[in-house]
Amino acid sequence: MNSLITPALLAASGETVLLRLGGVDYLILAIYFAFVLGIGWVLRKHLKTSADFFESGRSLPAWVCALGFIGANLGAQEVIGMAASGAKYGIATSHFYWIGAIPAMVFVGVFMMPFYYGSRARSVPEYLKLRFDEKTRAFNALSFAVMTVFSSGISMHALALLLNSITGLDYNLCIVVSSLIVLIYIYTGGLTSAIYNEVLQFFLIVLGLLPLVLLGLQDIGGWHGLMAQLQKFSEAQGMPGAWSHSWKYMGSAKANPMGVEWFGLIMGLGFVLSFGYWCTDFLVVQRAMAAKDMGAARRTPLLAAVPKMLFPALVILPGMLAIGLGQRGGGFHVPVGANGAPDYNMVVPAMLAQYFPSGMLGIGLTALMASFMSGMAGNVTAFNTVFTYDLYHSYVKKDSTDAHLVKVGKVTTVVGLILSILCAYTARKFDNIMDMLQLVFGFVNAPLFAIFLLGMFWRRTTGHGAFFGLLLGTVSAMVFHGLTLPIGETNGIKGGWLGGAHWFFTSSMAQNFWMAIFAFVGCFVGTAIISLATAPNKTDDQLRGLVYSLTEKIRDHDTPWYARPAVIGVVVLVAVAILNVIFW
């Protein structure tokens, strides 16, 4: 879900120029940049306290937060990566939305947001401190800070590489320009500026890429034309029908191109990974915590779920269209990489080159830029908040004044971006380091949801239980990875490094899902046992507002029925169930 760009994109070569930009395209790009910077400029006057800078003064309406909530996640891995997966796996890619993101977004809005927003916490690590103890917070804050810097660096690198390879723009120039723009608008306007820009980015990406889908669909002869081509394609791949159904071929890992089966899919992706990301990752949770009141904070992820469930039509469909059009022949070809294999990460740029003339091409490119920059900015704003509140204010200078914290936040923004640039150049030199880091983050993140679930709904969970449970979960993930391997891979970074693999999976995705399940169970059981064996470290009074049974239930009788979180949540779940059935 939060996975970074795949190495194939990183390896894209910069030899041929795919897109020829005209004057009008540069004009469009320039106007967009002017707006992005202008928002920060206008907002700078209103930025006074640290709460303004890091939390938008908790003043934003739900719909703005909701668009920021998906906008921050609508990074490059979504636009480029989901189209790539759409080409590789077909409709089944929608599992990342319909079984992955949506149920988790409903859960965080209905059940978890009352504790995040209602507690005095300003960040997710701070919640962990209030609920558990200092060491659990430090562990989460540190791993999160490192991860955000690397994610932002990778996003920057992928953007520069992509632009360089499709337009011939200089790599260094892309890095400098994109990081300067992000720096300026966060430095001047803080989180509000980042969220406002995410709103712009959201609409640009949606309205900028929609005509691509419409033109592609018209070219292939509508939905039925696409299905007919995909049928032919899937037959040629030896998996008839697998590209046009989401669930039908999930009975066995060998019957679908993802190489996963339904249990690993539902538990690994649907439960552990998705809930872990959407419910605990401060990058997205921060957007909801910026809302103006509890109702707005709870509605943020729920409102975000509505466009999110329709996103497959925008980001997955281009990949499926590319496969269908390539299968039909004549005109469009699926891009091929330097090694002769299909380069699915180039599917969106290739579609842009095919269907967008100058003018719309500028819009399409701006949408791509917007998606990369929102990914960077989301990470940077989460990083500066966690660093300032959870590391600096907690361990370096506890008696900081508010004005001092704003200053630290601004300096951290600069430092965070400089570190991201260093990561981008490291990624350019050593692909393997990035794979390695991604793997380590996977170990740390996979079990995380277990301690939130236990902490929020079981008052007996203790600080020692959470901390050592988390370590146990991380170790479970490592051991699992060290003993398993996807079929056809060699022992090493793909697994099997603990003296050779003992269990094999059809795909690395299946291995990843099962690793998450193991890590979660290890952490859950470990936390529960250690909690029972250790004395509670917080009194009931201290846990009020942090744990379900000790928190007064929110009465939303004053809210009109259609605005109640539970009602919206049920509507969203019913709608997503219907989508699953339609595309079964």
Partner 1 sequence: MHLDVRIPLGLLFLILGLILVAYGFTSDPAIYAQHSLGRNVNLFWGSIFAAFGVVVLIISRRGKA
Whole-angstrom distance, CA of residue 14 vs CA of residue 2: 26
Cross-strand bridge partners of residue 495: 492
Indicate the residue among 36 and 99 with the shorter CB distance to partner 1: 36
Q: Give residues with Cβ within 8 angstroms of 330, minimum separation 6.
A: none
Cross-strand bridge partners of residue 503: 484
Indicate the residue among 126 and 198 with the shorter CB distance to partner 1: 198
Using only the alpha carbons of the chain, give its radius of gyration.
23
Indicate the residue among 31 and 180 with the shorter CB distance to partner 1: 31
Helix (H) or strand (E) holding 352: helix 347-355
Whole-angstrom distance, CA of residue 111 vs CA of residue 108: 6
Indicate the residue among 358 and 426 with the shorter CB distance to partner 1: 358
Instruction: Spell out the alpha helix ranges (H) of 119-265.
Output: 124-131, 134-167, 171-220, 222-236, 262-263
- CB of residue 187 to partner 1, shortest distance in Å: 17
Whole-angstrom distance, CA of residue 231 vs CA of residue 323: 11
Tally helices (H) and strands (E) across the chain: 27, 2
Indicate the residue among 153 and 216 with the shorter CB distance to partner 1: 216
Indicate the residue among 211 and 545 with the shorter CB distance to partner 1: 211
- CB of residue 64 to partner 1, shortest distance in Å: 6
Exposure of 83 by Cβ count < 10 A (0-12 exposed, 13-18 middle, 19+ buried)? buried
What SS3 state is found at 393?
Answer: helix
Whole-angstrom distance, CA of residue 128 vs CA of residue 107: 19
Indicate the residue among 186 and 199 with the shorter CB distance to partner 1: 199
> Which residues of this protein are in contact with partner 1, per CB under 8 A?
24, 27-28, 31-32, 35, 38-39, 42-43, 45-46, 59-61, 64, 192, 196, 199-200, 203-204, 207, 211, 215, 218-219, 354-360, 363
CA atoms within 13 A on the CB side of 205: 33
Indicate the residue among 30 and 436 with the shorter CB distance to partner 1: 30
In residues, how long is the chain? 584
Indicate the residue among 45 and 224 with the shorter CB distance to partner 1: 45
Residue tagged 């977004």 (tokens): 105
Sign of CA dihedral 5, 9, 14, 16: negative
Alpha-carbon distances, residue 413 vs 282, 378, 379, 410, 571 (angstroms): 16, 12, 10, 5, 39
Q: Which two tokens stand for residue 454?
A: 């236990």
Alpha-carbon distances, residue 246 vs 93, 239, 315, 571 (angstroms): 8, 13, 16, 21
Alpha-carbon distances, residue 241 vs 91, 141, 233, 250, 323 (angstroms): 10, 45, 9, 12, 14
Indicate the residue among 359 and 500 with the shorter CB distance to partner 1: 359
Indicate the residue among 359 and 492 with the shorter CB distance to partner 1: 359
What SS3 state is found at 486?
Answer: strand
